[in-house]
Every structure is written in structure tokens, then in C-alpha cells.
């Protein structure tokens, strides 16, 4: 089936008890047992819930995986995947990642005896240099947040296979509509469903997708043992949102391409980061492994004062954390989403105080460009 057909139908047959076309939200904590151990596969909603099951089936199909598991946020999902690591293990993480991901690996997992190396994973040599005998996992974002750097999923997966390592890919920025890391050899895909999958800035969620029975059993165990599950209502909202994912992503992509081209023509803009631009260092790789370039655009201006004056003038782009909703947002990563990364680490990675990140929404492109034009004057 095509992507949109699956997005609308996969896992979502009409409800057999009522013939309701839209599956109901199963707001129940627990389930009646006819006698001890005799039930319909549902015992307690932390362990399993029918609405969550439908969402999990739907996203597994879209990500070309066998299994999906839904968590209460993207970070809860990343935490669950990090449990493949044990005391004494080493993990390699992309140096440019969402600030909360950095914080989880650098300031939380290290307390549990896990060693972390942050490297620029766009360069395979960097990865090969830091692999050690205790390395277990490589975790990448591609494109990265906020610098939109692209790592070669297939090539990194080949390294992982030859060294017996697991590869997890944060696919939040691309969504399954534009990129399917499992098909490129990744073992685990993670989403902050809060972003494009949700698409309307009204929920928090996270999803893991895998093919391996063993990883599925592990993460299902963690989902139940830790309990950071997605609520039935939010599962239902996500199912509703995913039906329009393809349409939204097309428009995000189209608008962001126009915005990136416009920014590149502006003299106050020092540099534009967007994988769809020919000037992007991994533009060719992006064309190879992605089917679109997404809705995120970052750009750099002189300094913090210039950033401040631009942010104050913007009217349609709303100053806020998060991304991936239908409305356009603007963010200053250094003081907002990436503030948990020490300044010297940020700057070494190229994330300066002059960087502005746009989540380009699906409004009329003329209005978005006019807003940027008056703010950059
Ligand atoms: O916010 P949460 O649902 O827990 O997702 C964390 C997360 C994971 N991965 C990526 C690539 C992300 O961008 C995020 C969250 N990011 C933001 C809130 C932000 O504004 O960048």
C-alpha cells in the first residue's frame, strides 16, 4: 500500500463490537477476567491497551518495522532504548543532538556507569576512531537538531554490523514519510511523536520501532517495568494526526525550501542550514537517503543582539520551544532547547549564540516570507 493509505488504515479496522469506523479510545485502567488468567490479552493498561496497540501497529507499518512501542515522550522512548546499555558499556552519540538527548546521555546515564562519546557522525572516520571493545550502541540524529547535519545511515549501519554494535536513529525531523532508517540498516528508530507525528503542538509522545523480536521483548519489558506509557487519549490523538502526515510533510517541505532559499539571499544572514540547499555539505547524501528535506531550517546571524532584534519583530513565527506543528515557530537554541549543553561544547559543534532555528509551518508561504523579510530589515 502507499504511505497515505497505510497512514489512514493500517491497524485501524472498524471496531467489531459496534462497527464504529474510528476505533474508540479505551479509557480503562483494568480489564475483567472471566476466571484467573482467562482474558482477551488485556489485563492492565500499563502493560497493554487496545488504543495504544492500534497506534503501535500503525506506526510500525509506516516505519517499515515489525513492532512499535509508544511512550509518554520522546525522551522516555530514548531512555527506554538506552537500556540496551549496561554498567561498563560505551555509547557513541552524534555531537549535535537535541539538548535533552545530550542531557540524558551525558548527565543521567553516566551516573549508571555508562561511558559516552559525542562525535560528529557525519564523518565515518570519527566513528571508527572512538569504537572500543566495550562500545555497544551508536545513536544518531539525522538530520540533527538544530544544525541539520546528515549522517550516512547505511554506511554507519555497515560499521555497526561489522563490529557487532546496535544502531539507533532519531527520525523525528524526517518522519517515516521522508526517511525509513530500518530499511537502511538501523536496528532501532526513535521518534519524538510530540513533533511532526502529532503535528498540532498539543501532545507529548515518543515511539520506538524495531524489527528484532529480541529488542521488541526488551523494550516491551521496559515500557511496562518503567511505566512511561502513552495515554489512550494521546494515542488516539496521534492516530488522528498521522492520517494527514503525508499532506502536512509535503507542505512543510515546500514552505521550508522557499524559506531556506529566501534566507540565503539575505545579506544579514551569514549561513543557512537546510539539507535541500545545494550549499549544504551533505546535500547529495540527503538526496540519496531521504525523500524530502523536511520543515526545519536554521540560520546564523552576527550575534545575540541581532538575534534578539529579529525575534522581537517576528509576528507569525512564534517564539517557543518545540517543532513540527502546523504553526511556524522560531527558537534560539543556545538559550532555549540546547541550554543544557555547556557553551564551550555547543560552540565547538558550531551551535553559536547567533543561531536561529525555524520550524516552518504550513501557513501561506507569502505570509511567512513577508514576516521574515520585515524582521530581517
Ligand atoms: O520532547 P520529547 O517528546 O521528550 O522529545 C525529545 C526529542 C527527541 N528527539 C528530537 C530530535 C527532539 O527534537 C526532541 C525534542 N525537541 C524539542 C523539544 C525541541 O524544541 O527541539
Q: What is the DSSP string of 208-254?
A: EEES-HHHHHHHHHHHHHH--BPPHHHHHHHHHHHTTHHHHHHHHHH
Task: Assign 98 a pLDDT band (cuts: 50, 70, 90).
Answer: very high
**Catalytic residue IDs:** 46, 98, 170, 195
What residues flank ligand 1, with Cβ below 6 Å? 73-75, 98, 100-101, 141, 145, 170, 172, 192, 194, 204, 206, 321-323, 337
Q: What is the mean pLDDT of the segment spanning 19-29?
A: 95
* Mean pLDDT, residues 283-298: 98
| Chain segment 292-347, per-residue pLDDT in tens | 999 999 999 999 999 999 999 999 999 999 999 999 999 999 999 999 999 999 99
- pLDDT category of residue 377 using cuts at 50, 70 and 90: very high
User: How many angstroms separate the CA atoms of 303 and 21, rounded?
Assistant: 54
Instruction: Single out the residue of 302, 337, 361 nearest to residue 101, CA to CA.
Output: 337
272 forms beta bridges with 299
* Residue-level pLDDT at 209: 99
Distance of CA 243 to the CA centre of its chain: 18
Give the SS3 label for residue 76.
helix
Question: Which ligand 1 atom is the nearest neighbour of the CA of 100?
Answer: 6
- Could you give the count of Cα atoms lying within 13 Å of 141 in the half-sphere of its Cβ? 24
315 CA distance to ligand 1 middle (Å): 24
Q: Is 183 exposed, middle or buried, given 0-12, 13-18 or 19+ CB atoms closer than 10 A?
A: middle
Question: pLDDT-derived band of residue 348, with 50, 70 and 90 as boundaries?
Answer: very high
CB atoms inside a 10 Å sphere around CB 18? 8
Cα-based distances in Å from 82 to 1, 86, 309: 33, 9, 40
Residue-level pLDDT at 155:
98
Q: Which CATH architecture has domain 3-242?
A: 3-Layer(aba) Sandwich (3.40)
- Segments of the chain assigned to CATH 3.40.640.10: 3-242
Sheet of 206-210: strands edge to edge?
Answer: 67-71, 206-210, 188-192, 166-170, 135-141, 90-94, 115-119
Mutate to test the pocket of ligand 1, among 80, 121, 148, 192 (most ligand atoms within 8 A of CB): 192
What integer best gives the mean pLDDT of the chain? 98
Lowest mean pLDDT among 9-23, 136-150, 249-263: 9-23
273: pLDDT strictly greater than 90:
yes
Q: What is the DSSP letter of 115?
A: E
Q: What is the pLDDT of residue 16?
A: 87
Query: What number is the average pLDDT over the span 262-279?
Result: 98
Whether pLDDT at 59 is above 90: yes
| Percentage of the chain modeled with pLDDT above 90 | 99
Question: Using CA atoms, how far apart are residues 369 and 259, in angstroms rounded to an integer?
Answer: 7
Task: State the span(s) of the chain assigned CATH 3.90.1150.10.
Answer: 245-376
Q: What is the CATH number of domain 245-376?
A: 3.90.1150.10
Amino acid at each position: 500500500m502507499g504511505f497515505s493509505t497505510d497512514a489512514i488504515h493500517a491497524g485501524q479496522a472498524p471496531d467489531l463490537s459496534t462497527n464504529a469506523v474510528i476505533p474508540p479510545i479505551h479509557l480503562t485502567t483494568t480489564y475483567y477476567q472471566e476466571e484467573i488468567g482467562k482474558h482477551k490479552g488485556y489485563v492492565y493498561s500499563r502493560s497493554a491497551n487496545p488504543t495504544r496497540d492500534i497506534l503501535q501497529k500503525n506506526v510500525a507499518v509506516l516505519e517499515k518495522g515489525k513492532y512499535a512501542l509508544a511512550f509518554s515522550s520522546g525522551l522516555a522512548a530514548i531512555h527506554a532504548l538506552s537500556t540496551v546499555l549496561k554498567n561498563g558499556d560505551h555509547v557513541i552519540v552524534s555531537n549535535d543532538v537535541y539538548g535533552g538527548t545530550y542531557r540524558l546521555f551525558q548527565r543521567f546515564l553516566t551516573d549508571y556507569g555508562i561511558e559516552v562519546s559525542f562525535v560528529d557522525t557525519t564523518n565515518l572516520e570519527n566513528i571508527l576512531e572512538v569504537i572500543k571493545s566495550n562500545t555497544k550502541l551508536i545513536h544518531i540524529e539525522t538530520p540533527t537538531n538544530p544544525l541539520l547535519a546528515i549522517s550516512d545511515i547505511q554506511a554507519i549501519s555497515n560499521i555497526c554490523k561489522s563490529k557487532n554494535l546496535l544502531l539507533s536513529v532519531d527520525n523525528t525531523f524526517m518522519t517515516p514519510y521522508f526517511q525509513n532508517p530500518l530499511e537502511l540498516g538501523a536496528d532501532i528508530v526513535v521518534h519524538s511523536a510530540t513533533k511532526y507525528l502529532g503535528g498540532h503542538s498539543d501532545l507529548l509522545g515518543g515511539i520506538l520501532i524495531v524489527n528484532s523480536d529480541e529488542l521488541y521483548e526488551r523494550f516491551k519489558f521496559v515500557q511496562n517495568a518503567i511505566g512511561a506509557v502513552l495515554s489512550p487519549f494521546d494515542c488516539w490523538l496521534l492516530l488522528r494526526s498521522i492520517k494527514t502526515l503525508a499532506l502536512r510533510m509535503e507542505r512543510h517541505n515546500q514552505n521550508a525550501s522557499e524559506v531556506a532559499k529566501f534566507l540565503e539571499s539575505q545579506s544579514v544572514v551569514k549561513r543557512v542550514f537546510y539539507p535541500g540547499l545545494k550549499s549544504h555539505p551533505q546535500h547529495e547524501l540527503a538526496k540519496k537517503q531521504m525523500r524530502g528535506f523536511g520543515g526545519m531550517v536554521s540560520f546564523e546571524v552576527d550575534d545575540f543582539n541581532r538575534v534578539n532584534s529579529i525575534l522581537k519583530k517576528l509576528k507569525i513565527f512564534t517564539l517557543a520551544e518545540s517543532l513540527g506543528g502546523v504553526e511556524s515557530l522560531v527558537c534560539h537554541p543556545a538559550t532555549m532547547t540546547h541550554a543544557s549543553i555547556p557553551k564551550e561544547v555547543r560552540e565547538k559543534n558550531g551551535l553559536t549564540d547567533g543561531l536561529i532555528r525555524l520550524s516552518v509551518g504550513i501557513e501561506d508561504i507569502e505570509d511567512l516570507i513577508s514576516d521574515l523579510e520585515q524582521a530581517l530589515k
